[in-house]
Amino acid sequence: MRQIILDTETTGLDPAQGHRIVEVACVEMVNRSLTGNHLHLYLNPDRDSDPEALAVHGLTTEFLSTHPRFSEIAHHVCDFVQGAEVIIHNAAFDLKFLDAELKKVGRPAFSTLCGKITDSLLHARELHPGKRNSLDALCERYGISNAHRTLHGALLDSELLAEVWLAMTRGQDALIMDFGGADTQGGNGMKMERFDASVLRVLPAGPDETAAHEAYLDILDKAAGKPCVWRAQAE
């Protein structure tokens, strides 16, 4: 399962008013693990950023003028996201800019490139109705440090969102495989054999590991507003 966490920075709020993308970042996850593979590009928008946007990302016209235009790097973005699930926080905003940029260079809409587009903001609102669900708020809720984030940047925000997404969806992992016979077929067509867990060595956790585990359970308790399932089962 290949997922791409994507974020952009722009000169303003609306491409219909001539605003452009100035930064795009894509962070790759495969089977819910960060691979270290990413795409990060600054872009020359051929215009100034609105003062409000400049205050958010800090990318000056002078700095951006030394970088390529979207038309020169569109193929890199398209190739990187091809066929993947793309996860974006407040996807509608980024998609309208991506679609506008792709249209300018004669390419189809962004959604046609991806296997699926997932809006992490909508997912967060379903999990935490009535609460603040900005990236900063979610970092605080899930105990993810963003102290090094003084300005918004597409790459940093993508990396933070990847951690937030893993925390928000951790319960979706299947922890138990049901083997009906001595061996069976996996979902990918590979043959799987019954595994005898009794041959595994049992290594008890040390004091540092136990303390780290308890600290993580505290984070889960805070996010859920009640004792997490692990602690509820232990009582």
- Among all chains, which residue has been given the structure tokens 């235009």? 69
Establish how many alpha carbons lie within 13 A of residue 46's alpha carbon, considering only the half-sphere containing its beta carbon: 6
pLDDT of residue 228: 74
User: Confidence band (pLDDT; 50, 70, 90) for 210?
Assistant: confident
Query: pTM score, two decimals?
Result: 0.71
C-alpha to C-alpha distances, 34 to 7, 158, 159, 171, 175, nearest whole angstrom: 16, 11, 9, 18, 20
What value does the CA radius of gyration of the chain take, rounded to a whole number of Å? Answer: 21
pLDDT of residue 231: 72
pLDDT, average across residues 147-170: 86
Top pLDDT among 177 and 169 is at: 169
Say whether pLDDT at 217 is over 90: no
- Write the single-letter amino acid at 199: V
CA dist., res. 167 & res. 140, Å (int): 12
The catalytic site residues sit at: 152
User: Of the given ranges (27-36, 51-60, 132-141, 224-233), which has the lowest mean pLDDT?
Assistant: 224-233
pLDDT, average across residues 184-203: 49
The DSSP secondary structure of 187-203, one letter per residue, reads TTS-EEE---GGGSPP-
Give the count of beta carbons closer than 10 Å to the beta carbon of residue 54: 17
Contact 27/58 with Cβ under 8 angstroms? no
Say whether pLDDT at 119 is over 80: yes
